Structures are given as C-alpha cells and as structure tokens.
Chains A and B, each alone.
Chain A
Amino acid sequence: MSSSAEQPPPGGPRAGFAPRLDQDEVDLDQPITPAGQHPPVQDWDTDFDHTVTEYAQNAPEVWRHYRESCPVAHTERFGGAWFPARHSDVEAIAHDTDHFSSRGVIVNDLGFRGQAPVGFAPPITSDPPFHQIARKLLLGPFSPKAVAALEPAARETCRSLLRDTIAAAEGSGGIVDAAQSYSQHIPVRVIARMLGLPESDGEVFRKFIHRILEKPGQVAVAPDDTMAAYLETAILERIAEPRDDLISYLAHADVDGVPLTPDHVFGSIALLLIAGIDTTWSAIGSSLWHLAQNPEHHERLRNDPEVWPFAIEEFLRYYAPVTMARVVEEPVTVNGAEMDPGDWVLLPFPSANRDSEAFDDAEEFVIDRKRNRHAAFGLGIHRCAGSNLARMELRVALKEWVDAVESFELASDDPDAVRWATGQVRGPRELPVRILAATAPEPT
C-alpha cells in the first residue's frame, strides 16, 4: 500500500468523481426540509433524546441515573435506539463487531444507515475486514511521531488566539467567551492546515458540523450548500494537481495498486473534516469550564509539570466528548435489553468513564489519577484515529491558556449561561468567563 502522485489509471475513474448527492443513498447533509423540533422528552428511560437541550445541559445526571437504575434506556425516536450506560456493556458492544455494525454511527432523524462494510465515511463507518484497509491509510499521518511535528504550529495558533482573547477581555471588563474566542478555533485551524483547506473557512466547517452532529437531519439544507459540494471542489482541484496535503494524499492513494473509489476518498476526507473539530473543541472547552470552577487545579497545573500527563488523561476521562453508535446486525440481548436488527445502539463512552464499577471514585475529578483506563477515544478496533492529534491539541491549548491566564472564573452563576452541544459530541459551545489576571503570550 502506498500513496502515489501518479495520474489516474487508464479510464480515469477519478475524472468521473461523483459526490454522494448523485446517489440514491441519503447522507446526513443532503438538502432536506426537516420534520421540525423534537418534542420534550416524556420519560428518560423509555423516550430518551440526546438531541434536545435538556439532555445537553444535564447529561452527567442522566447517565448517573441510567447506570444506577436503568441501565439500558430506550427510545422509539430515531426509528428505535438503545442507550447502555454501564462501562461493562459499552466495552462488550465496542468489541463485538459480529452483532453490532458501524455502518451507522450518527443516530439521526433521516433513518440513514450506510451500507456495510464500507459505510459513508470509512473507516469510522466500516466493518471488518474492509475497516482495517481503510484505517491503515490514516494511521501514518496521525501517528504520535507525525503529530509531534505539528505541535509548534498548534502552539503558535493558541498564542495568537490568546493575544486576541486577552485584548478583547481588556475592553469588556474581563468577560470573554472562551469557547467562541479560543477553544473552537484551535482544531479548525490544525485540521485545515493538514487537509490543505483555508483556515478562514472555519465558519463553513462549523455549519456542516452543526447540521450533521448536533441536529442530525433536523436542519434545512440548500442544495448548493452541502459538505459534498464544498469537498467535491477541493478534491477535484487536487486530483488535477496534487499538493502537499491530506486531501491530495487520499485522492491519489491506492491499496495494492488499486485506487480508492471516489466514495472512499470523499468519505474519509469528510471524516477528517467532521470528526476532528467539535470533538477537540469540546474537550478543550470542558477542561476550561472545569478550571474556571476549580482554581486549585488551575494552580496545580501552573506549578507542577509532573502532574500534566495524568491531568490530561483525567480531563479526557471525566469530560470525554464523544458518544459513538452502532447498528444491531443480529438479534442480541444486552443486560436484559432485547435488541433487534436495525436498532440503533449508542455507545456512551462518557458515561462508561464515570462508572464506579470500572474506576475508583469515578464521579470525582482526580487530577493526578494513576490508574486510568479511560475510554474517551473508544474501545476495540475503532479507537479514534485522531487520538494523538486530539491529545496534543488539548495539552497545548491548556498549557498555553494556564500559562497566560493567571486567574479566571465563570462569568455567571447561572448554569444555563454555558450552552452545551446537543447530539453525540458534548462540550460547551458558549462559555462566558471573566479573566481576572492575564499576560498576553509572546509569539514563539
């Protein structure tokens, strides 16, 4: 397997590169007229809905209730979905690729589940044995050593954002939105550089993410405004003329001499664009939300370099952003819940990470926790391919923040002043803080 800068093979299949919209199969960013707002949840055990505001604002309490007394919730919404909250069930499902397929990973209103074994966005939507082929293509560019080379640019991005953020705070009595002015921009700029897309298109990326992940199938989309249309242009440009970026790498990659199908190229690029942004944005934002309320942890990070490797993993455990999903393939019973083929199953890694059966003092944030087999990046064969990148971004973003911001707190006592994302990726989308003392960092 190798990437190749050679031109398309005879016949030029890439010349006919077809975006998803030409297919019968629906995707999650197609032009739709949504059915409308979801009604309020009647009963969280039998009618749960992870796309409503009430869930986003209170998810840890919902998970605790499920773990202690449900423990597998159900809903008829989304065409039927399950929510197994305990670590042991999440772990077992994540390792069982016979009963549970990844062909659908975003529980949505459109009934969209992809086709096994490739799915919409390989490898996250792929099943064995194809999964490993698609995954191998991405592991190199996201390996720890490849990611280490991206760290200096990520640090400069954080410092530049901090200079702007601190300047804005000086003009507003110290009040800034840490999510809007800091955390949301970091992963956008890092992945844009890797893909070779303009960093200034961040607003566009966040629009796609909102429609696909936060309100899947619930937001109206215009035909010329889809992610498919956006990416098709970028891919076609690089098919014609390769550049030194990941889109070119995938557009010209082959497996044992056979070029990837256009769907595979498009799907993997869509995955890299979508999966790396709001996830990391959420982890950084949740960590800042924690530090704003726990000055002793902020102080510890400022003064104790030895605690960092443990603190980063504890932030990942306690504030894991991502809940994945599977589609049931064979009838199966999980902790008493009888699941049928076609049912959705959510894989709430954030709830598993707070299960007292799996962790000592599970509901407590222990900044120097020494035993921490957290599942923030998943379990089994679908371990987040971008985990090394995400961890580096989280560490650099927090290090630069705590070095520059000596003291800060939440701007308001009202919990609803902080807006948490709905859907399967949870983190603060609005995070007003008051910066009490800060020194703008110098350029590196």
Chain B
Amino acid sequence: MRIQFERDACQGHNRCYLLAPEIFDVDDEGYAVLRIDGDLPPELEEKGRLAADNCPEYAITVID
C-alpha cells in the first residue's frame, strides 16, 4: 500500500499531519509534505488510511 498526495489540492488543513506524522510533515506555511514515497511499512497502513479518510479536500489517495 502506498500514498498518493496531490499538493495542488492541499489547503493546509493539517489533518494528515495530526493523524499520521510518520507519513506527513508540514512546511513553514502549513501545507502537507509526503514523507514516504514508496510502499508504507505495514504498521503505518492504518494511519495512511486515516489520513486519506480525513482530508477535507480529497488530496490524499490510498493505492493498494
């Protein structure tokens, strides 16, 4: 499972950073930065799904 992140759709709600800081950082203006490009380690898969399920702008997609 990996994460696809659309930076253009991100409006800086920071929900992903709060729920999955292992997967998402934020830049100095508060926009999300994806930290893991390839496959997520199994122990982070649930957090990856949470981040996707809580993004108000649908900027995060889980690819199984």
Contact = CB atoms under 8 A, between A and B. Distances in A.
B29 A145 contact: no
B2 interface: no
A371 B30 contact: no
Nearest to B58: A373
Contact of B15 (A140, A143, A313, A381): A313
B11 A373 contact: no
A374 to B, nearest CB: 7
A403 B32 CA distance: 32
Contact of A139 (B15, B17, B29, B57): B29
A379 interface: yes
Given A139-B12, A388-B14, A379 B56 contact: yes
Interface string B47-64: 000100111111000000
A309 B53 contact: no
A136 B29 contact: yes
Contacts of B18: 309
Contact of B30 (A144, A372, A374, A375): A144
Interface in B25-50: 26-30, 50
Contacts of B7: none
A371 B54 contact: yes
Contact of B13 (A139, A140, A143, A383): A383
Given A370-B53, A373-B54, A381-B11, A309 B30 contact: no
Interface residues of B, number: 20
A142 interface: yes
Interface residues of A, number: 22
A403 to B, nearest CB: 21
A372 B58 CA distance: 12
A381 B12 CA distance: 9
Contacts of A379: 11, 56-57
B26 A144 contact: yes
Nearest to A135: B29
B54 A387 contact: no
Contacts of B15: 313
Contact of B14 (A136, A144, A373): A144
A143 B13 CA distance: 10
A281 interface: no
A253 B14 CA distance: 26
A377 interface: yes
Contacts of A383: 11-13
A383 B13 CA distance: 7
Contacts of A295: none
A349 B27 CA distance: 27
Contacts of A370: 50, 53
Contacts of A309: 18-19
Interface in A52-95: none
B48 to A, nearest CB: 13
A144 B25 CA distance: 10
A140 B26 contact: no
A370 B52 CA distance: 11
A145 B21 CA distance: 13
Contacts of A377: 13, 56
Given A139-B12, A388-B14, A373 B26 contact: no
Given A143-B28, A143-B29, A372 B54 contact: yes
A313 B14 CA distance: 12
Given A383-B11, A388-B14, A142 B30 contact: yes
B53 A371 contact: yes
B27 to A, nearest CB: 8
A139 B10 CA distance: 14
Interface in A129-168: 136, 139-140, 142-145
Contacts of B54: 313, 371-373
Contacts of A371: 53-54
B8 to A, nearest CB: 11
5 contacts: A144-B14, A313-B15, A377-B13, A379-B56, A387-B14
Interface of A: 136, 139-140, 142-145, 309, 313, 370-375, 377, 379-381, 383, 387-388
- 8 smallest beta-carbon distances between A and B, as pairs: A139-B29, A143-B30, A383-B11, A371-B53, A373-B56, A144-B26, A144-B14, A372-B54
